Structure 1
Amino acid sequence: MADADDEQHLSGNVNPWVMSSYITYSSLLLMKLLFNILLIIATRLRTKIVPNPEDKGSNKELKVGGTHPLLTRVQRMQQNDLENIIPFLMIGFAFVMTWYSPYSRAVWHFRIFFISRMLMSFCHYFSLQPFRSIFFLIAMCTNISMGGHVLYKAAAYSVKYF
């Protein structure tokens, strides 16, 4: 059953420390996505592969639409980040809206996700298995933990008021 703290929290009070941590780690993850774009551009320049004919310009050395193992790896790394960071942003926001105590447990969810995504990308770039899979699973478990908390709080609120 929901208690008085749940009722007060679900009425709109958000722990500012948890929100601040969420914003910090979310911003760092979004910056990581932007860094990945720069990494893709640098890899394209290094491998001399451009995606469109107009990108080639007058440079005859550049190939249009070719592939290179490193370019494919960097693009897969970006796709994997998009598939995992965006759900974190959504679940994390709902998590912040339902979290009230203790602050450190919420922050550790954000830290663990951020660190595991950074390490997973490092392992992805340098082909380090099974570590890449391990860090992926850690990040996924963090999202599942936050999602479970949100569902629990929503169910407790629903049972009490509906």
Structure 2
Amino acid sequence: MLENEVFSSFMLYGTLLILKMYLIAIVTGQLRLRRKAFINPEDAIRHGGLQFYREDPEVERYRRVHRNDMETIYPFLFLGAVYSLLDPHPTVARIHFCVFFLGRLVHTVAYLLPLRAPARSLAYSIAQLACFSMALQIVFAVISHW
């Protein structure tokens, strides 16, 4: 499996994206503890009382980053795996995977800092172009095989 250059590249970028998601989840949890903002009453009671059963704007920003990651990275994992099976040129495949990865990284930074618009939406769109390109190639490959 590691001899397959395309799939190895996909595994690298896919794993880096999952690690990024884990990191955001961990930071979100730590931020909740620091800001004493819990979404479950039992957690609030455990950490000081029901007054901490509340939302916090900064915690919510991290949650939105994580949710957006789930909405985009999971489809990338499917598309990238199927795309790898098409035996694309390794450099072209690596470009697709790298563009998506960098787009998601910039999107996260733009969301968390927060950077001026349209930095975040531009990063999102560029990453989605890589997925759209892979999806089209998958569809064309399947149609041409019929």
Q: Same fold (TM over 0.5)?
A: yes
Q: Which of 52, 59, 81 is matched with 1:63 structurally?
A: 52
Q: Which amino acid in 2 is paired with 1:63? A: F
Match of 1:27 in 2: 15
Task: Please report the TM-score for the alignment, with normalisation by the length of structure 1.
Answer: 0.83
Say whether residues 1:157 and 2:145 are aligned partners: yes
Q: Which of 34, 37, 47 is matched with 1:46 structurally?
A: 34
Output aligned runs, 1:7-156, within 5 Å.
Answer: 16-55=4-43, 56-57=45-46, 59-60=48-49, 63-64=52-53, 66-100=54-88, 102-128=89-115, 129-156=117-144
Q: After superposition, what is the alpha-carbon deviation per residue over 1:60-111, rounded to whole angstroms, capped at 9, x for unaligned?
A: 49601x11111111111110000000000011111001124x2100011000
How many angstroms apart in 2 are the aligned matches of 1:151 and 1:123? Answer: 32
Bigger relative contact order, structure 1 or 2, given CA contacts below 8 A and separation 6+?
Answer: 1
CA deviation after TM superposition for structure 1 residue 135, in Å: 0.2
CA contact (8 A) 1:50 1:62 kept: no
How many angstroms apart in 2 are the aligned matches of 1:58 and 1:75? Answer: 20
CA deviation after TM superposition for structure 1 residue 53, in Å: 2.5
- Structure 1: unaligned runs, 5 residues or longer: 1-14
| Residues paired across the two proteins, number | 144
How many angstroms apart in 2 are the aligned matches of 1:62 and 1:42? Answer: 18
CA contact (8 A) 1:91 1:146 kept: yes
Task: Please report the TM-score for the alignment, with normalisation by the length of structure 2.
Answer: 0.91
Q: CA RMSD in A?
A: 1.9
- Structure 2: unaligned runs, 5 residues or longer: none
